[in-house]
Amino acid sequence: MLADDIKEAIQAAYSQLLQSQDLKPRGGQKQMIATIANSLAQEAEAGEGPICVVEAGTGTGKTLAYLLAAIPVAQARGLKLIVATATVALQEQVVLKDIPELLQGSDLDFSYTLAKGRGRYVCLAQLDNRLRPNDSLQAMLELYGEDLQEQGESATLLYQQMLDALGEGSWQGDRDDWPSPISDVEWRPLTVDNSQCLGSRCSFFRQCCFFKGRESLEKADVIVTNQDLVLSDLALGGGVILPNPSDSLYVFDEAHHLAIKSNNHFSNFARVRSTLNWLDRVQDFIGRLDKEDIVGTEHSQQLKPLRKQCQEGLEELWALLQQIVNEQPELDSYGTQSQFPFELGRVPEPVQTVTSNLALAFQQLCNLLQMAADDLAGLAEEAPDAELKDKAEQWFPLAGSLKNRGEATLALLLSFAKEDAESEPPTARWLTISDQEGDSDIGLSVSPVLAASNLQETLWSECAGAVMTSATLSALGKFDVLAMRAGLPERTSYLSIPSPFNFTEAAGLYIPRLNCDPTDPESHTAAIVKALPQLLPSPVAALMLFSSRRQMQDVLAELPEKLAEMVLCQDDYQKAQLLKYHRQRIDDGKDSLIFGLASFAEGVDLPGKYCTHVLIAKIPFAVPNDPVAMTLAEWVEQQGKNPFTALSVPDAAFRLVQSSGRLLRSETDSGRITLFDERIVQKFYGKQILDSLPPYRREVFTEEY
């Protein structure tokens, strides 16, 4: 039950904010505030904090709604509020716009900070190494191979400028705050991950940019971060990077990304031949430590039989996998790669046996690398002389990097070696065969098909409470797919708030008659090419979304020259750069048409004159050859359900709502949506999808091409 004093504080803050910004109250926004506040104020039941799902249509004002609702509740309960977005753009909006407006326009009093991972901060030890070349650094460059490159004069100059800026206090080591863009090639040598960091044993610990940033987390009431950092923290056990989940309320904005990101965090991949090469690097590394008298010779002696055991196991695995590949009549190919998914993730018994034995050897190898890392960490703290301490600090990150890869490979081998429980969703397991200029390799991949168990174990059962919100979370009017994929507890509450936009007046949904089926790509592409010149009279400010890169390229190649000249294609520019060019063209009175894939179906904000027409090539069904989706579909079918109706149709409906949502970004926007797919009105599932869309004005087959 929400206490009266919290309710009054929220109501007062909302009234003050509306008055300060000369805004009118929105019914949907008020409903969202009340729902979130009441939910988060509840006590945990059976060890689980309250979970609230709010789908808030475009124009609801959801960011200010969840901040207004969650901050007073978190403060009253003595908890941290962690706001996790999926994109940098929204993260910046929350920190640079929404929170400052809330503080300025109301009596709410709270502190906030932005949390970033280690990879966004310069490591002072690594920066020092790059500016102080020596024999140890050269040896590390040889061992890292392609991971590190010899730095040129421009990189050395940049690193010196960074050091000067740190000394002057004009820069705090954050990549995003450097006055000019830094390339990945220049930045990568300056960072470390969790396994490569010496922590308090490092000579630069007191000045460490990352740990200084961490100090602000302890003092802040509100922490704005990204979902990947939250998941990284949960994978480490929680409370390692961010505050402990039991002391935190979470708001996941753009929450439809959470399950997919979670699967990515708990997936693994390794190539067999590449891993054999990695064993050589491990031997070179241990040998170098021995040669330079950094650690004792016992590691070298232990490594010899272990390396041989791992090598023989990998070669046996290679032979087995080649046999499996050769027995397949046909493989799903793309570019220079092809893949073979194991049905329901079930690996043949001979492969299970080999990976099980190999995992035992890799466990010992990882233990050896851990001992080497511990020895180096000990020397970094208590070396008898400065030179040995310096060497230990330089070599420790490489020990951590090798150990990290070894542990990831071990996790993959253990997954391939085990049987999935019959009562649980399977794990997807598949092979990737690559052949580039005669250099062939076979990769092993493993991924959960659902994030449910991982999120339930690390998040829902541990946190003090959570909110999932986005403009699109349901599919076909239900939250079933979201609940299944994210493993939401039964006591989760759900709310869908419609957008305040007048869709019927503002936009028309047009389905032209093409007299072709989108499953016939050649005729469908020809029909689109024929229709586009007539559908895009000047002035053009349009976005066209494709489900297939091949079709996007084919349409572009066949367009008349005049129309092709106005196209800005996703393949040719970075997303931010492309959108900038598009806006410039429109501002200059020129025609502009964006060609994009799935990544342009969300997070693209082109209000008003910048987008008056959204064109969608076809109903956006998921790619049929994704091993994770294939394994999930097989499991759903095993449960007696139809995977097409249970998964494919809801997913397609969800994606189509997102795609069409690129048109209306404010209450004054208007325009047209064209869908080149007659199945939306001819097939039973198409009508389901059509009915799940906002109530656009519909015009079916009024145009024929």
pLDDT tens digits along 15-47: 999 999 888 889 999 999 999 999 999 987 777
pLDDT tens digits along 623-636: 878 999 999 999 99
Read off the amino acid at residue 506. Answer: A
pLDDT, mean over the chain:
92
Same domain, 155 and 295: no
pLDDT of residue 190: 92
At 236, list the tokens: 């480490």
Read off the amino acid at residue 418. Answer: K
C-alpha 646/C-alpha 623 separation (Å) is 16
Q: Where in the sequence is the domain holding 181, given as residue range(s)?
A: 118-213
Same domain, 383 and 477: no
Helix H or strand E encompassing 390:
helix 386-417
Q: Bigger pLDDT: 144 or 47?
A: 47
Cα-to-chain-centroid distance, residue 323: 35
pLDDT tens digits along 44-88: 777 789 999 999 999 999 999 999 999 999 999 999 999 999 988
C-alpha 213/C-alpha 206 separation (Å) is 12
Q: What is residue 61's three-state secondary structure?
A: coil
Count Cβ atoms below 10 Å from residue 537 Cβ, excluding itself.
8
Window from 213-222, 361-370, 459-468, 489-498 with minimum mean pLDDT: 213-222
Burial of 578 (0-12, 13-18, 19+ CB in 10 A): buried
Give every strand in the sheet of 248-253, ordered side by side.
Answer: 112-114, 222-226, 80-85, 248-253, 465-470, 51-56, 493-497
Q: Which residues of 332-364 are buried (b: 16+ CB within 10 A; e: fewer)?
A: eeeeeebbbbbebbebeeebeebbebbbebbee
Instruction: Report residue 152's pLDDT band, with 50, 70 and 90 as the boundaries.
Output: confident
C-alpha 618/C-alpha 512 separation (Å) is 12
pLDDT of residue 290: 81
Same domain, 356 and 405: yes
Same domain, 553 and 617: yes
Q: What is residue 354's three-state secondary structure?
A: helix
C-alpha 278/C-alpha 314 separation (Å) is 12
At 68, list the tokens: 């207004």
C-alpha 101/C-alpha 93 separation (Å) is 11
Tell me the average pLDDT across 90-102.
93
Same domain, 67 and 31: yes
pLDDT tens digits along 565-616: 999 999 999 998 999 999 999 999 999 999 999 999 998 999 999 999 999 9
**Does residue 383 surpass a pLDDT of 90?**
no
C-alpha 657/C-alpha 680 separation (Å) is 13
Cα three-residue angle 469-475-476, rounded to 5 degrees: 140
Instruction: Report residue 139's pLDDT band, with 50, 70 and 90 as the boundaries.
Output: low
SS3 assignment for 392-422 = HHHHHHHHHHHHHHHHHHHHHHHHHHCCCCC
Longest dimension (CA), the chain: 85
Cα three-residue angle 589-593-595, rounded to 5 degrees: 155
pLDDT tens digits along 446-477: 999 999 999 999 999 999 999 999 999 999 99
Domain boundary among 379, 414, 446: 446
> What percent of the chain is modeled with pLDDT above 90?
76
**Does residue 138 surpass a pLDDT of 70?**
no
User: For strand 592-596 and strand 613-616, is the pairing parallel, antiparallel, or unpaired?
Assistant: unpaired
Tell me the average pLDDT across 110-128.
92
Its sign, for the CA torsion 448, 450, 453, 458, is positive
At 254, list the tokens: 């753009």
CB-CB contact of 398 with 198 (8 Å): no
C-alpha 447/C-alpha 420 separation (Å) is 12
Domain boundary among 446, 463, 481: 446
Q: 270, 276, 268, 261: which is closest to 313 by C-alpha?
A: 276
Same domain, 239 and 107: yes
C-alpha 132/C-alpha 126 separation (Å) is 10
C-alpha 474/C-alpha 692 separation (Å) is 10
Same domain, 310 and 227: no
**Does residue 148 surpass a pLDDT of 70?**
no
pLDDT of residue 157: 92
Its sign, for the CA torsion 69, 75, 79, 84, is positive
Same domain, 197 and 257: no
Strands (E), 195-283: 222-226, 248-253, 268-271
**Does residue 704 surpass a pLDDT of 90?**
no
pLDDT of residue 187: 94
pLDDT of residue 613: 98
Tell me the average pLDDT across 521-527.
96
SS3 breakdown of the chain: % helix, strand, coil, rounded to 5?
55, 15, 30
C-alpha 604/C-alpha 594 separation (Å) is 11
pLDDT tens digits along 416-429: 999 998 888 999 99
Instruction: Report residue 146's pLDDT band, with 50, 70 and 90 as the boundaries.
Output: very low
pLDDT tens digits along 636-693: 999 999 999 999 999 999 999 999 999 999 989 999 999 999 999 999 999 999 999 9
Same domain, 413 and 275: yes
CB-CB contact of 511 with 689 (8 Å): no
**Does residue 205 surpass a pLDDT of 80?**
yes
Its sign, for the CA torsion 454, 457, 461, 464, is negative
Same domain, 134 and 182: yes
Question: What contacts 492, CB < 8 A, 6 or more positions away?
Answer: 51, 52, 53, 483
pLDDT of residue 625: 85
Read off the amino acid at residue 216. Answer: S
pLDDT tens digits along 388-414: 888 888 889 999 999 999 999 999 999
For helices 386-417 and 272-291, what crossing angle results, to 10°? Answer: 160
CB-CB contact of 24 with 18 (8 Å): yes
Instruction: Report residue 386's pLDDT band, with 50, 70 and 90 as the boundaries.
Output: confident
Global pTM value: 0.91
Q: Bigger pLDDT: 384 or 95?
A: 95
The conformational region for residue 204 under phi > 0 = left, psi -120 to 50 = alpha, else beta, is alpha
Q: What are phi and psi of 433, to 5 degrees?
A: -105, 120
Domain boundary among 184, 213, 242: 213
Same domain, 648 and 511: yes
pLDDT of residue 142: 61
> What percent of the chain is modeled with pLDDT above 70?
96
CB-CB contact of 676 with 620 (8 Å): no
pLDDT of residue 363: 97
DSSP calls for 83-107: EEESSHHHHHHIIIIIHHHHHHHSS
Q: Residue 621 gets which letter from DSSP?
A: P
pLDDT of residue 137: 58
Its sign, for the CA torsion 278, 283, 288, 293, is positive
DSSP β-bridge partners for residue 85 = 226
Same domain, 8 and 96: yes
Tell me the average pLDDT across 354-379.
94
C-alpha 454/C-alpha 427 separation (Å) is 12
**Does residue 236 surpass a pLDDT of 70?**
yes
Q: 336, 327, 251: which is closest to 56 by C-alpha?
A: 251
Q: From residue 402, how far is each of 235, 380, 590 by CA, in Å?
A: 19, 18, 53
Q: Which residues of 245-259 are buried (b: 16+ CB within 10 A; e: fewer)?
A: bebbbbbbbbbbbbb
Q: How many domains does the chain have?
A: 4
Give the CATH number for residue 559.
3.40.50.300
Q: What are phi and psi of 337, to 5 degrees?
A: -125, 155
Cα three-residue angle 631-635-640, rounded to 5 degrees: 150
Spell out the alpha helix ranges (H) of 247-385.
258-265, 272-291, 298-326, 349-382
